[in-house]
């Protein structure tokens, strides 16, 4: 009955010889579902059949890492090769780290639960600066020496990549090599080089020498930074002739590559639980604070046809309820109008919403706003960045207050009640008047709404000068200056406005790392030894540890926030983004003058140096503006076809008459690792499986339509069950039960299985009715005479009352009264039949077992409990 999808994990048996058996510890961590893997479309290959094994590491928790599009791309590319495999590793939370250390177990991949040392290469994403200590946690738990210089032939190659690689100096000593730029092509060259080196039995140094021949690959050990007495850089000395500068790798054409397909579908809620389709890479708007706007130049767009195709394939294969059009500025995507119309036409009918996470004021036309609201009113966030037109000119934002207010008016007019604004403070030339102006702008924007109670909420963060930008020489605000601005806003913003701020202490450390040099490897290692973990998480972040580490290493952290002289050697000077330093400097001076630099995608080339105009050049698919669409349609048959589809949209989606409704009860089991999922996560898994299996289900009406399905009461996390059910409102009757069960089970992860389908009777117990539920429990030990005696003692009592906290309130429960039957079976298992009422809170079955057998909390977590059946008292079956 289970999945025949060859790309889906089929069983619990790890294929790596040294796989870690984590089942015994998962029940003891806060969120075990982060570590079980088994996502739909995950790939688990035969370890014996491949020549190169790659662990792809994202150095933060699963919820963040699993949302990262880049890692999914590399995962698919490597796994598309017969001779290679890729598996994933995410940072453990502190509780799992402690357990692994206690047991002396290595960190493991999700797919095969293999230790890092079983891989030939470990590819680590460098997404942001506050994840650096997590890299050390992962290497250390992986039993790999932290410093590249200490590794030998038995260790995998540690290769970095991602947007943080353009100043990797603070972590340079931990990496054997770091890829600059787009990874699509380079990842296979790197893996193939390692394969050949293995075949030729080259040693580590010989292999690294070969890696330097791959374009875009930076080997830090072949560059030696030299400092003066004050610790400032004198030069970065190349140690290998002919390897003096490393140029970034760039994919000339996004159209020629597909997105990550089939998409990985997480079982647990993650930050961005959706299908991402990249519509463009690169942005040439020229915001002077933006590093991504420099390192991903030029703009390379996908055609509308390709975007629509990738979206349709991805939603079919993934079952997501949201599609996100990804790019640095999706509103600037030249084919947005035709693509969006076509996507909405397809997806509105399937209740799939389309979101554009990076929309810019000035690109939000009424037409686009109208499209966005068709399925769900996703949140509306606008980024004015600065409070005044003057400061926005300095940063080259290219929008005026008038543009911003016009957009707010439009958004409010379309029914939104809340808009979020994002600002930075500490931008070059900022004065306190610019900060005060934020509050004034919020007042004006609120007044653009015609309806009642409009709200603008504000998020602020300290500006962090980034390498390779026109502001890379500028100073950063101190922590105190950051708080001063927050206080000013707290006092001056309207009462209705909620203010959120990024912790200035975290921005301080981000600033240190962002423009840091190689000295910081020492600081990071020291802070990690002192206990720094998961620094991007406010609840874990502790600046004091970093300050202590700074004192121990004789490093003044605040020094890294200072202004740089324009002639100063910068730690990233030998790493070339393609954009000329002279362009950055010219932009810096233009900023001081408030001069605007136009976007080269619609105006002339601004001569930044990124393009060679042979292979590398801007790729703009529809060279039209929204206002020119009509004219373009006349000339472009493909666009005409799409536009016609869009025009028909409203007719197709006119309210249809009430469709027939067939209410069925689907019985299902939830066993194995699925016991670690929450009720909401299981609901999500079924909704996605319905979409993938094309099961026609009615949806609710209103703001956020969801499938009309009601589930049996939530099962406590950790409990398995053979007796769950859901009542589903189908659009068609079930004529072939076996076919539907088979189709659905192929779309469900191992451990979730539809058992049978029945016409839904009104089986719901009314509030006063008694329910009986049978559980089978195995403790992690043999049951003894003493246990039998305890059980006997319990059964002989009239009542056993305990107090428990439920929803924050103290409640009394009579455990004896709830245990209708309780016995030890021949097979060393316990059977409990528990009585409950729909309208009364009851104890959890393990609370009864714990009390009866005097279990410790640890023993409770080690127990396996399976719900076997549930029925109304007095009924012989369901």
Q: Which residues bind ligand SF4 (CB under 6 A)?
A: 284, 297-298, 600, 605-611, 618
SS3 sequence, 507-572?
Answer: HHHHHHHHCCCCCHHHHHHHHHHHCCCCCCCCCCCCHHHHHHHHHHHCCCHHHHHCCCCCCCCCCC
Distance CA 632, CA 642 (A): 12
Q: Report, in Å, the least distance between residue 579 CB and ligand SF4.
A: 7
The smaller minimum CB distance to ligand SF4, of residues 605 and 802, is found at: 605
- Which of 161, 203, 213 minimizes the C-alpha distance to 184? 161
The smaller minimum CB distance to ligand SF4, of residues 59 and 618, is found at: 618
Q: Using alpha carbons only, what angle is made at residue 238 by residues 233 and 243, rounded to the nearest 5 degrees? A: 140
The smaller minimum CB distance to ligand SF4, of residues 301 and 430, is found at: 301
The smaller minimum CB distance to ligand SF4, of residues 315 and 608, is found at: 608
Q: Report, in Å, the least distance between residue 605 CB and ligand SF4.
A: 3
Q: Using alpha carbons only, what angle is made at residue 263 by residues 258 and 269, rounded to the nearest 5 degrees? A: 140
Q: Report, in Å, the least distance between residue 617 CB and ligand SF4.
A: 7
The smaller minimum CB distance to ligand SF4, of residues 255 and 750, is found at: 255
Q: What is the largest CA-CA distance in the chain?
A: 90
- Which of 754, 722, 770, 670 minimizes the C-alpha distance to 868? 722
Q: Report, in Å, the least distance between residue 289 CB and ligand SF4.
A: 18
Q: Report, in Å, the least distance between residue 297 CB and ligand SF4.
A: 4
- Could you tell me the two tokens for 780? 């992690």
- Could you tell me the two tokens for 103? 């047991």
The smaller minimum CB distance to ligand SF4, of residues 300 and 306, is found at: 300
Distance CA 34, CA 20 (A): 16
The smaller minimum CB distance to ligand SF4, of residues 102 and 614, is found at: 614
The smaller minimum CB distance to ligand SF4, of residues 281 and 342, is found at: 281
Q: Report, in Å, the least distance between residue 616 CB and ligand SF4.
A: 8
- Could you tell me the two tokens for 316? 């079919």
Q: Report, in Å, the least distance between residue 520 CB and ligand SF4.
A: 31
Q: Report, in Å, the least distance between residue 618 CB and ligand SF4.
A: 5
Q: Using alpha carbons only, what angle is made at residue 12 by residues 7 and 14, rounded to the nearest 5 degrees? A: 80
Distance CA 246, CA 577 (A): 9
Q: Using alpha carbons only, what angle is made at residue 725 by residues 720 and 730, rounded to the nearest 5 degrees? A: 145
Q: Report, in Å, the least distance between residue 286 CB and ligand SF4.
A: 8
β-pairing, 801-806 vs 177-179, is unpaired
Distance CA 65, CA 720 (A): 28
The smaller minimum CB distance to ligand SF4, of residues 36 and 620, is found at: 620
Q: Report, in Å, the least distance between residue 609 CB and ligand SF4.
A: 6
The smaller minimum CB distance to ligand SF4, of residues 406 and 586, is found at: 586
- Which of 49, 187, 40 minimizes the C-alpha distance to 125? 187
The smaller minimum CB distance to ligand SF4, of residues 297 and 519, is found at: 297
Q: Are 486 and 504 in contact (CB under 8 A)?
A: yes
Q: Report, in Å, the least distance between residue 290 CB and ligand SF4.
A: 14
Q: Report, in Å, the least distance between residue 299 CB and ligand SF4.
A: 7
Quick one: CA torsion of 781, 785, 786, 791, rounded to 10 degrees?
90
The smaller minimum CB distance to ligand SF4, of residues 203 and 253, is found at: 253
How many beta carbons lie within 10 A of that of residue 500, not counting itself?
A: 11
- Could you tell me the two tokens for 117? 């040392």
Long-range Cβ contacts of 787-792 (<8 Å, 24+ apart): 787/824, 787/853, 788/824, 790/852, 790/853, 790/854, 791/822, 791/823, 791/824, 791/852, 791/853
């Amino acid at each position: 009955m289970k999945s025949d999808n060859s790309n889906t994990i089929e069983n619990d048996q790890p294929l790596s010889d040294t796989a870690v058996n984590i089942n015994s510890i998962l029940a003891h961590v806060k969120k075990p579902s982060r570590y079980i893997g088994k996502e739909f479309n995950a790939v688990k290959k035969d370890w014996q059949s491949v020549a190169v094994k790659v662990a792809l590491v994202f150095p933060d928790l699963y919820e963040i890492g699993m949302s990262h599009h880049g890692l999914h791309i590399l995962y698919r590319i490597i796994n598309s090769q017969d001779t290679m495999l890729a598996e994933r590793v995410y940072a453990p939370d502190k509780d799992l780290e402690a357990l692994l250390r206690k047991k002396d177990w290595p960190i493991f991949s999700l797919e095969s639960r293999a230790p890092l040392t079983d891989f030939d290469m470990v590819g680590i994403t460098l997404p942001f600066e506050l994840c650096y200590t997590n890299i050390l946690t992962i290497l250390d738990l992986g039993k790999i020496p932290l410093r590249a210089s200490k590794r030998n032939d038995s260790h995998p190659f540690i290769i970095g990549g991602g947007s943080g690689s353009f100043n990797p100096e603070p972590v340079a000593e931990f990496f054997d090599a770091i890829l600059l730029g787009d990874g699509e092509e380079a990842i296979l060259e790197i893996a193939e080089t390692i394969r050949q080196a293995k075949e030729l039995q080259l040693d580590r140094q010989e292999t690294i020498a070969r890696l330097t021949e791959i374009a875009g690959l930076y080997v830090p050990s072949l560059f030696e930074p030299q400092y003066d007495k004050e610790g400032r850089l004198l030069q970065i000395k190349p140690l290998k002739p002919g390897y003096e500068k490393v140029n970034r790798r760039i994919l000339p054409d996004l159209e020629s590559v597909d997105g990550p397909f089939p998409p990985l579908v997480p079982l647990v809620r993650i930050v961005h639980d959706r299908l991402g389709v990249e519509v463009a890479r690169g942005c040439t708007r020229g915001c002077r604070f933006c590093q991504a706007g420099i390192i991903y130049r030029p703009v390379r767009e996908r055609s509308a046809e390709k975007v629509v195709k990738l979206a349709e394939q991805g939603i079919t294969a993934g079952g997501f309820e949201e599609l996100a059009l990804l790019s640095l500025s999706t509103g600037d995507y030249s084919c947005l109008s035709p693509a969006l119309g076509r996507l909405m036409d397809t997806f509105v009918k399937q209740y799939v919403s389309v979101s554009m996470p990076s929309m810019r004021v000035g690109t939000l036309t009424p037409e686009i706003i109208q499209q966005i609201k068709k399925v769900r009113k996703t949140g509306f966030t606008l980024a004015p960045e600065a409070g005044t037109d003057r400061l926005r000119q300095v940063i080259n934002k290219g929008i005026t207050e008038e543009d911003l207010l016009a957009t707010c008016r439009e958004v409010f007019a379309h029914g939104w009640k809340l808009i979020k604004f994002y600002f930075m403070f500490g931008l070059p030339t900022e004065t306190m008047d610019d900060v005060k102006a934020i509050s004034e702008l919020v007042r004006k924007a609120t007044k653009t709404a015609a309806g009642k109670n409009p709200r603008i909420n504000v998020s602020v963060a300290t500006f962090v000068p980034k390498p390779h930008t026109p502001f890379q020489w500028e100073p950063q605000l101190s922590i105190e200056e950051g708080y001063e601005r927050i206080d000013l806003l707290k006092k001056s913003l309207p009462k209705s406005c909620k203010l959120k701020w990024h912790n200035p202490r975290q921005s301080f450390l981000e600033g240190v790392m962002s423009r840091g040099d190689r000295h910081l490897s020492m600081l990071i290692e020291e802070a990690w030894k002192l206990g720094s973990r998961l620094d991007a998480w406010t609840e874990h972040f502790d600046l004091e540890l970093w300050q202590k580490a700074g004192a121990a290493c004789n490093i003044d952290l605040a020094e890294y926030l200072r202004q740089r002289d324009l002639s100063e050697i910068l730690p990233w000077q030998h790493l070339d983004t393609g954009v000329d330093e002279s362009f950055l400097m010219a932009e810096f001076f233009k900023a001081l003058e408030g001069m605007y630099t136009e976007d080269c995608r619609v105006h002339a080339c601004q001569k930044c140096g990124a393009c060679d105009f042979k292979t590398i050049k801007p790729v703009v698919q529809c060279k039209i503006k929204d206002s020119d669409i009509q004219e373009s349609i006349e000339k472009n048959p493909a666009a005409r076809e799409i536009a016609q589809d869009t025009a028909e949209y409203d007719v197709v989606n006119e309210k249809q008459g009430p469709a027939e409704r067939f209410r069925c009860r689907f019985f299902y089991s939830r066993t194995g690792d699925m016991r670690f999922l929450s009720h909401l996560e299981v609901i999500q898994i079924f909704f996605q499986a319905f979409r993938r299996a094309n099961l026609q289900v009615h949806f609710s009406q209103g703001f956020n339509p969801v499938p009309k399905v009601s589930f049996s009461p939530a099962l406590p996390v950790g409990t398995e069950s053979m007796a769950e059910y859901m009542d589903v409102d189908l659009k068609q009757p079930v004529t072939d039960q076996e076919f539907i069960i088979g189709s659905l089970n192929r779309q469900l992860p191992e451990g979730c299985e539809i058992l049978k389908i029945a016409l839904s009777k009104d089986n719901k117990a009314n509030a006063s009715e008694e329910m009986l539920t049978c559980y089978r429990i195995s403790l992690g030990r043999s049951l003894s005479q003493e246990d039998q005696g305890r059980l006997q003692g319990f059964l002989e009592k009239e009542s056993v009352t305990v107090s428990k906290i439920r929803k924050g309130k103290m409640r009394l429960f009579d455990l004896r009264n709830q245990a209708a039957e309780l016995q030890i079976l021949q097979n060393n298992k316990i059977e409990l039949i528990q009585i409950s009422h729909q309208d009364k809170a009851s104890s959890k079955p393990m609370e009864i077992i714990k009390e009866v057998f005097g279990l410790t909390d640890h023993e409770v977590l080690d127990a396996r409990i399976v719900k076997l059946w549930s029925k109304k008292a007095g009924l012989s079956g369901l």
